Structure 1
Amino acid sequence: MLTSMKMETQQQGETAGGIKRKGELRFEGLKPYAICIFCNICFAGYNIISKVSLDNGMSSYVLVVYGPVFGTLTTAVLALLFERKHDRKISMAILRDIFFLGILGAVLGRTLFYIGLKDTSPAVASALANLIPSMTFVLAVLCRMEALDMSKHSARAKVGGSVVALAGATLMTLYKGSLMLLLSYLSLSAFLVLQTVTVKKYPAPITLTSLTCLSGTLVSAIMTAALDHKASSWRLSWDKSLVAILYSGIVIFGLTFFLQALVGKTKGLVFMTAFRPLGTVIATIMGLLVLGDALFLGRYRFLFYFRGFMDENKLRSGSSTHSCRFVFNFVGKGKETAGGVQHLLNALKSDQKSDNTWIL
């Protein structure tokens, strides 16, 4: 009697433990998706805040310096709290990688981004950022970090998505500022590849992020001192510019750099960058609410129109090809990931103004 009761209790405990373990595994499986979506929300907000700051007269070169400064301070504190016991020595090879990470991520990537953002809109910058998965995929294949077997449907989907993305980007590079943004995203793609390699050699992502920000701070300070001699440009005040600096340093250089290192280490480069097109939708909605950009939804055609920046038809063509690239790329990655992932398209409510056009 007692033996049977003990066995039943043990079986119930094992069942409860199994359910708990399944829940934990399910949570761990969903965590990379949640992190990628969160990072894209952060990037969209970063585009909006940076645009507002630059339009208010903030120097792009000074903004490049202050961002890594606050990123260094934030991640240094976190590294002391969570990675204090990490005793892995930093070799000269790792120091070399950290130096180039600072140049690619903080100096080249952000400087070119700010210069291009001055002449475009945050939504356009987010649309061009859809090229990052394709650029990263090509660099990963060249560096032999990503296998490319054209006999598989997933590989063909990735290549097809990359070609479609490049076609859309070709249309959008005809506009002022777009070339700088493309060069910026190429630098950031190289940064992601090098970051994934470095974090495997030095498995302390918070410390690595802090050292990367420190490297970017030193190099960008030298660059800014040579290019911007005005002392007034370095002066901080309690306005929108300070918000942009704090957001750039704490959220972008601190938080998202660290989260990207985690996801890239566990899921790979292509998975991490495949969520970039979500930033286009988020940035467009934020642009409507914050900057007052106009969004038109026609009866016979769907297009985005940003007042004063782009022609409607050309922007429609470029945006739609980027959306197709996202579908192809994610189909390719989904075939390699158990279960894949399903995304829902957000429904846009509109008021009909005329027979052919709805204005949101």
Structure 2
Amino acid sequence: MEAHGCCWRSLHPNFFHSSQPYILSIFASVCYAGLNYASMVSLDKGMSAYVLVAYGDALATLVTAAFVLAFESRMNRPKMNMMILMEVFLLGLLGAVLARTLYYTGLERTSSTFASVMSNLFPSMTFLLAIIFRMEKLEMRKITSQAKVVGTVVALGGAMLMTLYKGIIVISMSSRHPHHSTARTASSSSVDKDWINGSLMLIGSALTRSGSSVLQARTIKKYPAPISLTCLTSLFGTFQAMVLSFAIERKASVWKLGWDLRLLSISYSGIMVFGVATYIQFLVIRKRGPVFAAVFNPLSTVIVALADLLVLRQSLHMGSMVGAILIILGLYMVLWAKNKENKKEMSLDEEFCQDTSSNPPNTNQDPKHVVKEQEAW
């Protein structure tokens, strides 16, 4: 029955089903693009980075818990054992606490431009970790492996070019008040802030986020309930972030909230990023792996540039245009390679389905021998 089902899916491809990981990944990139603006609003208003993470995780826990009750309450989920619980605890520590806390504290010590550059280390680090843990095949003799390596490097270079180089103005938006203050603040603060510690924190943020992405690929196979995993990850992250916040921030006033932009930014980060984007990442990783999900990260830089052009009325420079082209080119190379590998795996599955349908298993075989064959497969 299962063999017939996999053959039917291979013979009747659904366009929406095949394009779903791409659509979800692009939407997650849009969510992450808005995170930089939302976090800067809270940090500029004097909110602690540790408290911001705790509030975001707590709100994500409440929202995803409601979706669990609505969509996964009657689902036949596997039993939660101690090993899965430990992995979820690590997911909360790596992704929900350390990656976000290190990013916010690094953002405070450097600048938004530099933090945007360093966040694009995430795809490269995820690619390396996936190779180390044998979740990604790298055979440099094959053109698909070469395309993945070159595409990752090209996308990373394009993201850095967009944020570090401006060049001549290509599109000038009519604005009577150019945003010179932002550049001036970033350049002046670069002397005052601890850039070395901030840089190390941003590198640590990219590394812990990559480790969380690789661990998600392992955990989602053992516990295929993405909404519940998102909720549990946020729940563990809430307790861990609260412990960290109480250990560092001793004043009770840092937890005070009002009906202002800080509450709006916390709502956005908790619902759209900590909740929705994390859930999307679980879905995409389960279908296509951690590298596929991570390679869309530089797309957030392109979205931020478009938002600056259309919303903030900033000018579009040559560096942004060339960088965006490189990001799209690198993204296309990686996705082309992943699509080639996916088609090859589907053809192998189709051959296996045909073999099993034409050569049914021998029911007279020794049951122990059949079990050993299934375990080996």
Question: What is the CA-CA distance between 1:327 and the residue it aligns to?
Answer: 5.1
Mapped contact 1:67–1:249 kept (Cα < 8 A): yes
Per-residue Cα deviation, 1:216-252 (whole angstroms, up to 9, x for no partner): 0111101100111121110011111111111111111
Per-residue Cα deviation, 1:176-200 (whole angstroms, up to 9, x for no partner): 3444222211111111110111011
Mapped contact 1:133–1:273 kept (Cα < 8 A): yes
Partner of 1:248: 269
The whole-number CA distance in structure 2 between the counterparts of 1:75 and 1:169 is: 32
Q: Which amino acid aligns with 2:319?
A: L
Question: What is the CA-CA distance between 1:126 and the residue it aligns to?
Answer: 3.8
Q: 1:215 aligns with which of 236, 255, 258?
A: 236
Q: Which amino acid aligns with 1:116?
A: G
The whole-number CA distance in structure 2 between the counterparts of 1:125 and 1:325 is: 21
1:228 aligns with 2:249: yes
Question: What is the CA-CA distance between 1:161 and the residue it aligns to?
Answer: 3.7
Partner of 1:141: 131
1:64 aligns with 2:53: yes
Q: 2:99 aligns with which of 97, 109, 113?
A: 109
Partner of 2:353: none
Q: 1:251 to 1:193 in 2, by over 3 A?
A: same
Residue ranges of structure 2 left out of the alignment (5+ in a row): 1-7, 165-189, 345-377
Residue ranges of structure 1 left out of the alignment (5+ in a row): 1-17, 305-315, 340-360
Mapped contact 1:131–1:165 kept (Cα < 8 A): no
TM-score (norm 1): 0.75
What aligned pairs does 1:1-360 form with structure 2 within 5 A after superposition? Answer: 25-85=14-74, 86-120=76-110, 122=112, 124-163=114-153, 176=195, 177-288=198-309, 292=312, 294-297=314-317, 302-304=318-320, 325-326=330-331, 328-338=333-343
Question: What is the CA-CA distance between 1:83 and the residue it aligns to?
Answer: 1.1
State the identity as a percent: 46
The whole-number CA distance in structure 2 between the counterparts of 1:29 and 1:123 is: 35
Q: 1:296 to 1:41 in 2, by over 3 A?
A: closer
Q: 1:30 to 1:236 in 2, by over 3 A?
A: same
The whole-number CA distance in structure 2 between the counterparts of 1:140 and 1:192 is: 9
Partner of 2:360: none
Moved more, 65-74 or 270-279: 270-279
Q: 1:207 to 1:187 in 2, by over 3 A?
A: same
TM-score (norm 2): 0.72
Q: Which amino acid aligns with 1:225?
A: F
Moved more, 256-265 or 178-187: 178-187
Question: What is the CA-CA distance between 1:127 and the residue it aligns to?
Answer: 3.8
The whole-number CA distance in structure 2 between the counterparts of 1:128 and 1:150 is: 27
Question: What is the CA-CA distance between 1:125 and the residue it aligns to?
Answer: 3.5
- Partner secondary structure for residue 272 of structure 1: helix
Mapped contact 1:122–1:283 kept (Cα < 8 A): no
Higher helix proportion, which one?
Answer: 2
Per-residue Cα deviation, 1:246-266 (whole angstroms, up to 9, x for no partner): 111111111111111111101
Q: What RMSD, in angstroms, separates the aligned Cα atoms of the two structures?
A: 3.0
